[in-house]
Structure 1
């Protein structure tokens, strides 16, 4: 099921947010939020796998990504606006009560998960983070900003696949995928322009606020120390964005069995979550917690 919701931004205009749902309404809900340039399509394999095992999975396109509208004013691409939009989204899917959903956040989606889980009467019951911590090395932030600004145009999604595969074995590897998954990734990553060409499936103006406040205005360690929910961190074994030392500091500040770190060796930033062996890690943790 796919739905859109009309909301009003801080700039005062109506726009639509798109989200996808897998599974039945009366099931336990897992809310998924993608990384900075990702969208709800990133969670197709997670959604299908977990829906078959008794969960409802809901994945949101933040404004300027996927099928959601973009902002007229690029200054609206900020953490306060994202939280505002997520709050309305959670209400729309019936997950606005304390501990009413589980949260799976990839990169930016994890940063927003920190903020939600670390608040009083949080709607988050269990927190799953994919390759993100309360600190990110400046080198990685600078690299991401450069990549966002790159202007890429393809005649067909298939043309992007060889370039995507160049990341294999690097700190930004999604991990090994089969041919079907690579093609799916290309179709999620790109959208068709009016002239028939294919471009990236996000508004390039998201870079402006990212360059000024990539992690938001407030320090995230404070949120981390307030989080009491069971938490899973997936870490790409090749990732430099979520280095081992940050994961170890997170564990040191949570000296109990409520924090689990799992490393996916052949991935960097970020694991695709397309492969069954990766999604099984999430499912097993949910079963145990």
Structure 2
């Protein structure tokens, strides 16, 4: 495991993008794992460690999250910037093709890149998001994203995250501790905050409406796997089923006992992703 970074560019200037690299740097197969809205690349540690047995795995922290820098102008937090930064990451990796695993926001970034002419994405895994995102789910997310919470201890953060991230499904105590370890930041006054810029919420809160992205989905022409939590309010069952009939005609796997979004930390979830990515 290696920690690396590169410079992205927004209209307000350069910013540093951090990423974790796993596996043999000379491996012929490259996989990018991209996290959700308020999370970071270390969510994929368990998955990356398994995939790295056969591939070079890259887990970026999208700008404003994890170890990456915060943008000078919060207005630039959005998919055009995220896609531009990930295009820069792909250029830095100097590869002709790669596989993409994306959870929620990371899935939408992957969808957008896969839909472009000449895309380098070979196989696509979309975790609990799709080309229709209902307003009700975005309202739920907008209620907690951007709250600049202060916590007195890591235990208090864990209590908070267990509530907010409960839809991730049943996690072990060790897995929760991992989420907390990489999901917090230390403030100058000694208290703790969450490991993202609260200003990422600026554009989220102004875009609370039904998102119709079917035009993007229908342009995707690479093998695609869609993962879904059976209780998800963000990827509705009818949307998931339609994704198997339109665009790339994805394979769908649904897991019971979880909502938005499966954490991809459990071995059965890791096995599904690995087996599908290495099928050919």
- The reply to whether residue 110 of structure 1 matches residue 107 of structure 2 is yes
Cα distance in 1 for residues equivalent to 2:233 and 2:7? 38
Stretches of structure 1 lacking an aligned partner (at least 5 in a row): none
> Does the CA-based 8 Å contact 1:30-1:102 persist in structure 2?
yes
Q: Deviations over 1:89-108 (max 9, x none)?
A: 1111123x3xx000001101
Instruction: Sort the Cα spacing of 1:31 and 1:15 in 2 relative to 1 into closer, same or farther, 3 A.
Output: same
**TM-score, with structure 1 as normaliser:** 0.90
Shift of 1:285: 1.1
Q: Quote the residue 1:43 is aligned against.
A: 44
Q: Report how many residues are paired.
A: 278
After superposition, the C-alpha distances for 1:127-178 in whole angstroms (9 at most, x for unaligned) are 000000111110110111111133322222222223333358xxx5111111
Pairing partner for 1:101 from 98, 102, 106: 98
Report SS of the residue matched to 1:226.
coil
Cα separation, partners in 2 of 1:85 and 1:283, compared to 1, 3 Å: same
Query: Could you tell me how far 1:78 is from its partner in structure 2?
Result: 1.9
> Matches of 2:189 and 2:251 in 1, distance apart?
48
Q: 2:35–2:41: 8 Å Cα contact kept in structure 1?
A: yes
Match of 2:244 in 1: 251
Cα distance between partner residues in 2 of 1:57 and 1:69:
21
Equivalent runs, 1:109-148 vs 2, <5 Å: 109-148=106-145
Task: Establish whether residue 204 from structure 1 lines up as the match of residue 204 from structure 2.
Answer: no
In structure 2, distance between residues paired with 1:214 and 1:87: 27
Give the Cα–Cα distance (whole angstroms) in 2 for the partners of residues 264 and 222 of structure 1: 27
1:158 to 139, 142, 155: 155
For 1:231 and 1:58, how far apart are their aligned partners in 2?
Answer: 19
User: How far apart are 1:211 and its partner, in Å?
Assistant: 2.3
Q: Deviations for 1:207-229, whole angstroms, at most 9, x for unmatched residues?
A: 1112234699x952112111111
RMSD: 1.9
Secondary structure in 2 matching 1:69: coil
CA contact 2:34–2:106 (8 Å) conserved in 1: yes
Structure 2 runs not aligned, ≥5 long? none
Q: After the TM superposition, which parts of structure 1 deviate over 6 Å for at least 4 consecutive aligned residues?
A: none
Distance 1:77 1:68 in 2: 13
2:167 match: secondary structure? coil
Q: Provide, for residues 55-90 of structure 1, a one-character-per-residue CA deviation record: whole Å limited to 9, x for no partner.
A: 111011111101111011111112211111111111
Structure 1 pair 215/185, CA: closer, same or farther in 2 (3 Å)?
farther
